[in-house]
Structures are given as structure tokens and as C-alpha cells.
């Protein structure tokens, strides 16, 4: 009788106790562990030998030439964006900007680069290049896109 007063008997169902035990077991000894990025990349590189598919590259370039005229429309210029044209921004479906005199005066006359380009650099503002010593390589590029 004295024992019951000090430590009352638990009325927890056996199924709940077993469930808690199983969850703790799985936490300590997981059945499946999600691999990290390095493990995934290493596994892919070990399984496959990557080769450049020149046929697919040529087909993709033809497709781009047919649908987009990227050489002429790559950059906003005075030739491809006349006064009064409505410019739509990528990802902004509801917002557009009408080209007025002030905006039109900032456009270059023609595309800012001459083809063929042998070397291009794409530079962002994320700070990843800070103290990277990549300045000389970037400066050697025929075209730098910011």
C-alpha cells in the first residue's frame, strides 16, 4: 500500500508505450538516411560516363534560332524596342513598362557584343567572387554579363 502512494501505477496503454519505443529506436537507428549532395554526385559520376552530344547541341541551337532570334533580341536596344513598345519583365505577368523618351535614350543603338564570342563571363552580385582572384579571367572575356 505504501508503494502505491509513492509511485502510482501508470495507466498508459501498452500500444502507446510500444509506439514511443519504436519511434525512439528509429531515431537512434534510422532505417533510411537521406544522402548528402557529395554522395549523390559521386554515385552519378561513378555510374555514368558523360560525353558531349554534338547532335543534340546542334539541334538545340537550331531550335533556339527558329523560335527566339536570340542574336537580335538578346539585349534591349533602340533597334528592337522602339518608343511606345510595352516591355514585359520575366516572371512579372501583370507588370509592364512602356518605352518613353527617357528610357529609350538609355538603350544602346545595337547589340552590345559582336559575334562570334569566344569567351563570356556571367557575374552576379551575390558576393561569391569577392576575394576569389577571378578578376583577370573576367576581364579577359569578350563579353561580361552582369
- DSSP letters, 59-107, are HHHHHHHHHT-HHHHSS--TTTS-TTPEEE-TT-SS-EEE--HHHHTTS
Host H or E run for residue 20: helix 14-28
Task: Please say whether the beta carbons of 111 and 73 come within 8 A.
Answer: no
Task: Please say whether the beta carbons of 78 and 108 come within 8 A.
Answer: yes
Give the span between the Cα atoms of 146 and 125, in whole angstroms: 8
Give the span between the Cα atoms of 79 and 108, in whole angstroms: 9
> Residue 39: what pLDDT?
83
Give the span between the Cα atoms of 104 and 87, in whole angstroms: 12
- As a whole number, mean pLDDT of residues 130-134 equals 80
Host H or E run for residue 26: helix 14-28
* pLDDT band at residue 55 using 50, 70 and 90 as cut-offs: very high
Rounded to 5°, angle at Cα 47 from 45 and 48: 70
Output the nine-digit C-alpha cell for 47.
555510374
> What is the pTM (predicted TM-score) of this model?
0.40
Highest mean pLDDT among 76-85, 91-100, 115-124: 76-85
* Structural domain spans, the chain: 2-112, 114-146
> Residue 8: what pLDDT?
56
What is the b/e burial string over 80-110, where b = at least 16 CB atoms within 10 angstroms of the residue's CB? Answer: ebeeeeeeeeeeeeeeeeebeeeeeeebeee
**Beta strand pairing call for 86-88 and 96-98:** antiparallel
> Residue 100: what pLDDT?
93
Amino acid at each position: 500500500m505504501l508503494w502505491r502512494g509513492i509511485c502510482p501505477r501508470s495507466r498508459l496503454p501498452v500500444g502507446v508505450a510500444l509506439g514511443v519505443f519504436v519511434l525512439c529506436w528509429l531515431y537512434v537507428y534510422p532505417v533510411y538516411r537521406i544522402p548528402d549532395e557529395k554522395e549523390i554526385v559521386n554515385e552519378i559520376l561513378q555510374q555514368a560516363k558523360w560525353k558531349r552530344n554534338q547532335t543534340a547541341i546542334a539541334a538545340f541551337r537550331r531550335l533556339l534560332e527558329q523560335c527566339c532570334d536570340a542574336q537580335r533580341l538578346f539585349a534591349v536596344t533602340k533597334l528592337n524596342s522602339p518608343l511606345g513598345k510595352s516591355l514585359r519583365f520575366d516572371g512579372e505577368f501583370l507588370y509592364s513598362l512602356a518605352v518613353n523618351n527617357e528610357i529609350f535614350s538609355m538603350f544602346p543603338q545595337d547589340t552590345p557584343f559582336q559575334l562570334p564570342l569566344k569567351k563570356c563571363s556571367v557575374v552576379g552580385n551575390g558576393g561569391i567572387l569577392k576575394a576569389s582572384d577571378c578578376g583577370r579571367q573576367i576581364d579577359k572575356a569578350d563579353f561580361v554579363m552582369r
